[in-house]
Chain A
Amino acid sequence: MSINVPRPKLTWSERLYLPAIAAGMAITLRHFKNMLFRRTKVTMEYPEEKWDPQLPEHYRGAPALVKDESGRVRCVACQLCEFICPPRAIKIEPGEISAKDRFSKVEKYPREFDIDMIRCIFCGMCEEVCPEQAIFLRKDYAITGLTRAEMVHNKEKLLEIGGVMHGVVLKWNEKK
């Protein structure tokens, strides 16, 4: 079955084509003027301007290890984050805290703590699962590197990104 598509009957002014041209020219000139006088909002010029100050508190950026107010690395190398990590980006090598140490009752500390940022999917499971409030997702998002090795964040790098976290539960202090 054939369907006849009706051709629109053009009026005289439409057939002349000139009013349409004039209207189009007016539209483009309006856009030109609005851009020229910066009345149009344009895309942010990324490397120079950043959205960083407006990032929300719950922003999920790069995971990082934190220290508490007393300067102790909070991670106790329980390896829960290593097990929960969906892309298996985290690798922890636990070490033993010597008996003479102030925090000897913690027993373990991470000797090595690597997060492969090529694998990391920024899901935040590690932060959620951590019983020690030791790993947090910070607001760093531009994680770049020239080699694969460079993209693996080791313990020093993670602590550098993480810094000191205030207001966390201090459950290993002597009083408790």
Chain B
Amino acid sequence: MNPTTFFIFTTLLKIVGIVFVVILPMVSYAVYAERKVSALIQDRLGPNRVGPAGLFQPIADAMKFLLKEDFTPAHVNKFYYWLAPCLAMVPAITTIAVVPFGSTLFGVPMVIADINVGVLFVFAIASLGVYGIVIGGWASNSKYPFLGGVRSTSQMISYELSLGLAVIPIFLLIGNLRLTEVVQYQIDHGWMIVPFAGDWRNPLAWLLAIPMWISFAVFAIAVFAETNRLPFDLPEAETELVGGYHTEYSSMKFALFFLGEYAAMITGSAIIVTLFLGGWHFPGIPDGSHGWIFGLINIFVFFAKIVVLLFIFIWVRFTLPRFRYDQLMRLGWVFFFEIALVNIFCVAAILAFFPR
């Protein structure tokens, strides 16, 4: 097999594997986890009818979504109405392409596209997700979806800024946008927020961890806002906008919006894990070049970290109330934007005055 054929074959295998074997089941079980964890937080039992402990509930849900009537209201703009759910789902899954989800397996790097503009690609694609919501809200030709779409636009503008600014300190430090390089740096120097490896005795490394923590907090909160999760779920806002942008949607088109939101959660967590929590690295576990079993363990570690973050997503959702709209804007523009900006200067100053 010549290298080109081998490359195409392995890439296809990785795409199919990561999207259909890992991400989509993870999305459906994230919905299950959401229902179960929320139930436990609220002193209920949650889904427990379909299968042991309700474990087959996602399958029943999928069947229900497929069998429901796919209703298109007469007053909608048909073309955009059909386009919007795809636009909500596609960017969320596309983003995973540049994220290294493992070290190597049989010598094949476990990243679908190791491009040198990694994180820029993530931001470019991830912010397209808002178009699905805006177009869906606008094409529905109805008041609540319209308000949801408008809210989504302004929320995206406010939080995309701090999202972008929060990661700049990392790239000031590393000097490379490639996400595999980010993970390699964290293997050599310890995770971005806990520099336990490399020159960890150097107080400078720990001094750098402080702005990294701030970056981490700002980035995580901005990801919450980007994925329309509570406390920033204003485009959806069941209690005020009766579902917001997807009010007019039913059946599989609604399901695509729903899955898009959860896929965005997973990719958002994947980015957080890659940038701040060491990617697939776990102290003491060698990479895939030491045997395929370690390659598998690395992949497992990566997704385990994602699962922990997903739990935090759900936990936060069922703890915090929704922000009012002006509070959301104030938080985005007055606090996080400034914090992220000052943080960049802090890191730059540390790097300038304490050369390593």
Contact = CB atoms under 8 A, between A and B. Distances in A.
Contacts of B19: none
A143 interface: no
Interface string B297-330: 0000000000000000001101110000000000
A35 B40 contact: yes
Given A21-B320, A32-B315, A42 B43 contact: yes
Interface stretch (A23-31, A86-94, A145-153, A159-167): A23-31
B45 interface: yes
A36 interface: yes
Contacts of A34: 43
B41 interface: yes
A43 B39 CA distance: 12
A25 B40 contact: no
Contacts of B75: none
Contacts of A27: 319
A40 B318 CA distance: 18
Contacts of B41: 28, 31-32, 35
A45 B37 contact: no
B44 interface: yes
Interface string B153-193: 00000000000000000000000000000000000000000
B322 to A, nearest CB: 13
Contact of B315 (A29, A42, A43): A29
**Contact-residue bracket for chain A:** 10 to 19
Contacts, number: 34
A85 to B, nearest CB: 39
Contact of B45 (A28, A29, A31, A42): A42
A28 B44 contact: no
Nearest to B46: A35
A34 B37 CA distance: 12
A40 B41 CA distance: 11
B289 interface: no
Which of B40, B42, B44, B315 has most A Cβ within 10 Å? B40
Interface string A15-56: 000000100110111011011100010110100000000000
A28 B43 contact: no
Interface in B31-53: 37, 39-45, 48
A25 B44 contact: no
Contacts of B318: 28
A24 B315 CA distance: 10
B320 A31 contact: no
Given A42-B45, A45-B45, A36 B40 contact: yes
Interface in B202-239: none
A35 B38 CA distance: 11
Which of B39, B45, B315, B319 has most A Cβ within 10 Å? B319
29 contacts: A21-B319, A21-B320, A24-B319, A24-B320, A25-B316, A25-B319, A27-B319, A28-B315, A28-B318, A28-B319, A29-B315, A31-B40, A31-B41, A31-B42, A32-B40, A32-B41, A32-B315, A34-B43, A35-B40, A35-B41, A35-B43, A36-B40, A40-B43, A42-B43, A42-B44, A42-B45, A43-B45, A45-B45, A45-B48
